[in-house]
Structure 1
């Protein structure tokens, strides 16, 4: 029998040549402060045929490089200090955290962490933030080549689905994942995970739950159990999600994202103290993730634990000091904790650091003014606090992008000083914050809890007026043939006036028109059915209700959707 070419010397040589040809097309960014190690890595890559190589010496230069262009592979040293104990800057894990959060690397980019780090918590943190792979040093050129080939093969299999996702074609991506799992069974679990995540992105949590349960029926993988808990929690079934997450944490105490979700579920159930304890347990195991530290600080503030909040936010400020994406709100929260402890000197030091290191943007100006106002309030100087609050509102008006939570805090402080107009302006802005924007009811509740139902009524009238204007804009878009644009404007109106019958009727009608003309859209259809039920509850005899029900049934029949 003739020898298989792949196992013969000639076949091996041919495979190596083919791999080198493929590798020549790869672009690689090496992130390492040590010039000798960068040179060694470049030599290893050259041996495998990789020649399109650039280097960065720290997290900041890496972020700049990735902002200019995309790379197929990032090889990142974990310890970016260059071996000096007192070096300043981010480590590789913090860099990866920023890259993922700010979407500076594509989902299909290959990120390989290189580390000789023996500290258990740091390795856990790095693994938790899902690099494609991580390699413990020392390693050989062959080991590096093998890891890269494995990662490239996996990326090649998943890339068609990723490309459909990038083109905003999630339905086709789901279909492609189903077909690819059949033709490439080696990556079936990867495709199932993508399918479930796509269903989540479409708010189809019931379908995501089904995918996760199917995976778990075949293999008890941790990500599927966590995904199942997420899908259950997203459907509001906290009584199911919490014990499931507790079981996950007990069985796998290194699955850190389970702690985060468990704490969120506990907090939504109203148990801030238990949520704080859960996050404290997570930080004790994996102490280097800035966003978890920040969340712990927020929960500690909510629970009235000023000492715990100070500890967490001080670490956040320290660890993010050299990030390209520092958030001045962390300084405000640290000041808030110190004020809560009655430590004006410590708060003043934090404010000086904020002014020195983050000056020059409206957001930083707003945060400084809020912080100084907190300090004046502690000293009982109301007039000075009002002056700073006016500066904060001016900075927000000038474009200072504050989170909804920070806006709520600013509005509450304004209300405490009878700055009614400023509070209303700040809360109206909090309704337009994108994905994390407050709902109209959440904004109104700020005034109700402050004992100002008159301001809640006034704001409600403003929101209804804005919704009426948006209905007119939607009509104009529809008349010009921009059906999708009309629906997006109607959804904005619904956000402003969620219980307004006229708006709800317009939203359902607009969505059904888009579906009939442009194809079935599950999230929009689900929204329409939800709005129909709201209309039925508010006015079961509404003259448009029967017609809209009939249109919904017609749309389902057209696309073969089961009722």
Structure 2
């Protein structure tokens, strides 16, 4: 290792285990490092990085005192404390799949599995620092977003026969630069030429990205469907397939791909937000609630931490509770209340949350059939249309609709079209969701629970066509709800006993079958379903 490079490098050790700190410090001193700092927590590390520009950072992934290594590295990169010229190495005693996928997403310079020897540490540092030194001009240009200068230095390396061992890495960097410049035609040609020489998996992913940029989507999809079967490219391929399906308005397929991706790497909060938005769009209220809780779990104490995280879970709980029978919704409502209490405890005296909490509490009162209290709260924020985020307005529109203020709900939703989400994919999903909410709240003046109750009452009064229509409206708002599908199937079978189903009713009948055949039913529901199918099969079709 270059003695001068070692001597003048500033090193930061981030580890909350005293023995690990001592081992790393002693090992680094034996190698020749002199300027060594130690941080025992993420907060301490952030403070030191604000004061000093470190050449090398060795960070434990499994920090436990505040945030973990993933979110620390994410924040260090976001604040510019870690640049491409900084050598960043993760260490961890764990090597489970989600950790490995998270590390792959963050792209540190290296990863060392504990326990490791001083010799292994020395060898890894030698490789990383040598690489950083030889590619310093490229990294400096990229840190300044000077793509032209970066490409010039990349091409200089690629014509240097003495740097042949760096060619794969430099080629990969070149592809990333071409994609960052959105020069998709040149990028596609470049990746294709690389693949003809050697089928690097990163080049296959890059070619798919370039094809998506060129709107050659069928070619991109063909590549991605192969890459999704390979462990080393599965996560990237799932993300890109999700993007492909969203662009083609195939939201159910996009939801499946991105759900699989979050399972592989759950700490990626931006991806979790897209999954949450898709769950709402598809009326998967259970999935929405689960995703919101997962997002909060991994975002705590990270740069994503905020009062809105707790509000998101509380709101998702209410949306979910609205789809359940009153006997089941009470428990979910109590969970929503607990998230509000935690929010108040974690962010005391936070003035911006007061009205947001009031809207959530109004919806909770509605759930408990406390209409007077709910209207009193919602009236206090009724006129404040210009304040708050997109999510705040959406929640307020839901409260208005639930409490009978249908015109105000639709007016508020229609006014949200100009607001955008935090990334292009989420923006497209949210735009579709807002239009869907406005249309549904225009067409259907009742909540899902009210609709199901109305439908049951109509059914009991033998008003079958009206009951079927009410069940159909409820199923429009809750398309995965097996309880409603079973109720509507029963009404349809009874109607079929009286007369032939019309085309619309026949479509609803087939829809019920699709839902019930692809949903996990309780034993009681399965018995009821089997009896209904048996009754239907016994109906004699009129002869024409």
When the two structures are superposed, what TM-score results if normalisation uses the length of structure 1? 0.65
- Counterpart CA distance in 1 for 2:22 and 2:380 is 57
Report the CA distance between 1:103 and its aligned residue.
4.6
Residues 312, 103 of structure 1: alpha-carbon distance in 2 compared, 3 angstrom cutoff: farther
Q: Deviations over 1:178-228 (max 9, x none)?
A: 222212333223332222222222222222222222222222222221121
Alignment check: 8 A CA contact 1:174 1:198 kept: yes
Structure 2 counterpart of 1:330: 309
- Counterpart CA distance in 2 for 1:37 and 1:444 is 51
Report the CA distance between 1:389 and its aligned residue.
6.0
Residues 248, 100 of structure 1: alpha-carbon distance in 2 compared, 3 angstrom cutoff: farther
408-417 or 153-162: bigger deviation? 408-417
Report the CA distance between 1:28 and its aligned residue.
1.4
Report the CA distance between 1:147 and its aligned residue.
0.6
Structure 1 counterpart of 2:346: 357
Alignment check: 8 A CA contact 1:31 1:58 kept: yes
Residues 270, 116 of structure 1: alpha-carbon distance in 2 compared, 3 angstrom cutoff: same
Q: Which residue of the other structure, out of 244, 249, 252, is the alignment partner of 2:228?
A: 249
Structure 2 counterpart of 1:55: 38
Q: How many pairs are equivalent?
A: 418
Report the CA distance between 1:112 and its aligned residue.
0.8
Alignment check: 8 A CA contact 2:56 2:87 kept: yes
Structure 1 counterpart of 2:91: 114
Alignment check: 8 A CA contact 2:385 2:412 kept: no
Q: Deviations over 1:487-533 (max 9, x none)?
A: xxxxxxxxxxxxxxxxxxxxxxxxxxxxxxxxxxxxxxxxxxxxxxx
- Counterpart CA distance in 2 for 1:75 and 1:393 is 47
Structure 1 counterpart of 2:327: none
Q: Which residue of the other structure, out of 72, 81, 84, is the alignment partner of 1:95?
A: 72
Give SS of 1:111's match. Answer: strand
Alignment check: 8 A CA contact 2:267 2:299 kept: no
Give SS of 2:90's match. Answer: strand
Give SS of 1:105's match. Answer: coil
Residues 244, 393 of structure 1: alpha-carbon distance in 2 compared, 3 angstrom cutoff: same
When the two structures are superposed, what TM-score results if normalisation uses the length of structure 2? 0.67
Give SS of 2:16's match. Answer: coil
Structure 2 counterpart of 1:406: 391
Query: Counterparts in 2 of 1:362-511, with a 5 A limit?
Result: 368=357, 371-372=360-361, 374-375=363-364, 378=367, 381-382=374-375, 384-388=377-381, 393-394=386-387, 396=388, 402=389, 406=391, 409=394, 418=408, 430=419, 450=438
Structure 1 counterpart of 2:300: 321
Alignment check: 8 A CA contact 1:116 1:138 kept: yes
- Counterpart CA distance in 2 for 1:42 and 1:235 is 50
Q: Which residue of the other structure, out of 78, 82, 86, is the alignment partner of 2:61?
A: 78
Task: Point out the structure with max Rg over C-alpha.
Answer: 2
Query: Counterparts in 2 of 1:526-541, with a 5 A limit?
Result: none
Give SS of 1:76's match. Answer: strand
Q: Which residue of the other structure, out of 132, 135, 154, is the alignment partner of 2:109?
A: 132
Report the CA distance between 1:75 and its aligned residue.
0.6
- Counterpart CA distance in 1 for 2:78 and 2:366 is 35
Alignment check: 8 A CA contact 1:411 1:424 kept: no
442-451 or 317-326: bigger deviation? 442-451
